[in-house]
Amino acid sequence: MADLPPPTLRLHIDRDALAHNWRALDRLSGQARAGAAVKADCYGLGVATCVPVLRDIGCRDFFVAHWSEVPAVLAHVPPEQIAVLHGVSEQSEAQYARATGVRPVIDSVAQARLWSEAGGGPCHLMVDTGINRLGIRPDEASDPSIQALSVEVLMSHLACADEDSDSNASQLAGFRSVVEQVAHRETSLANSAGVALGSDFAFDLTRPGLALYGGIPRPELADTIRQVAFPQAKIIQVRQIEAGECVGYNATFTAPRAMRIGVVSLGYADGILRSWGGGYFEAHSERLPILGKVSMDMIVVDLSGARAIGEGEWVDLPYHLPDAARQTSLSQYELLTVLGRRFG
C-alpha cells in the first residue's frame, strides 16, 4: 500500500509548556498536590501526548468522565491513579471498576448501594455543595450506604471559582461540614480556578484541567500559565480575485479591489467554528485576515499584504486561549475541546 501523504494541518503541542503549567499549579496548590483532569482526550490535546508528560513530572492523580476513556489513560498509568467522575450507574461499570482497579467517583446514594452490592472496594465520593450536578447532598452523608464506603478522596466541585462570587465561600463551608461526617483518606475541592483562590481551597489534592492546557480562568494565573496548543494549516491554493467578486458561502465578503487570496486547509470540521470569521491567521509576522465564512474544510485569507506567502506555506492560527475566547465568544474550554481529529 502506498504511503499516506503528510497532513495539511497540524496541532503542535508544547510539551514543555504543559509540564511548566502542571509544576506551577502544583506549586500554587501549596501543601496539596496537583492532579490532572484528562477527560475529553486531555481537553482535545491527546491522552497519548499529554498523560506521559504529566506522569513523568510527578502527577499521580488522573480524572476522566466516562468509562470509555479509561483504556487510553490506563495504557500510561496504574489503574489506582485513575478516577471516573461519572461513577457507577450500572453493574457492568462496577464490575469493570473492580476488575481493573480504577476508582469510581460515587455520585449518589444509589451508586453507593450499587458499588457495595457489586463487592465494593476503594472509591472516591463526590459531594454536591452547590453546583447541582453529580454528588450526594450534604444531608445524605449520614446515609448507611455512604458510611459503608471505603472513601479514598472526598471531593466537591466549585461552580463559580472563575468569579469573585459569594458562592465560593458558601461551597467551602458546605464541604468542610461534610468532611467531618464521612471517613476518608484525602480531600479535594479546587479546579484550575480554585487553585488561584488560595490555600483554603487546596485541601489535600487539587484537580486542574483547563489551566494545564493553556487556559487562564482567573487573572491571578495570567503571568503563570503558558500556551500549549498551536493549530497550523497549509495554504493549498493561491488565487487572484477582482473588485466586486465575492468569497465563500452566502457571499458575505465582497472584494473592494483586486486581491490576492489564499485557501487554508482548515475549517469548522476541525473545530475552527464560524465564530472565527473576522479573525486572522499569521505567517512570517504578517496578519492574514479571514475573508467570508469559515467552511467545513477551508478558510479563505487575504494575502494582499503578504506577497512572499504562497502555496504550501504553513500559517498559524493565534490560539492564546483568553484572546481567542474574546475574539470568538467561545469559552476557553470549548476552544480546546472542539479541536478536530484531522490534525496531524
Determine contact, residues 105/123, Cβ cutoff 8 Å. yes
Q: Residue-wise over 62-97: b if at least 16 C-beta within 10 A, else e?
A: bbbeebebbebbbebbeeebbbbbbbbeeeebbebb
Half-sphere exposure of 104 (CA within 13 A, CB side): 33
The span from the CA of 188 to the CA of 203, in Å, is 6
The span from the CA of 107 to the CA of 50, in Å, is 27
Residues recognised as catalytic:
39, 249
Determine contact, residues 157/167, Cβ cutoff 8 Å. no
Alpha-helical segments (H) within 89-187: 91-100, 109-117, 144-147, 166-179
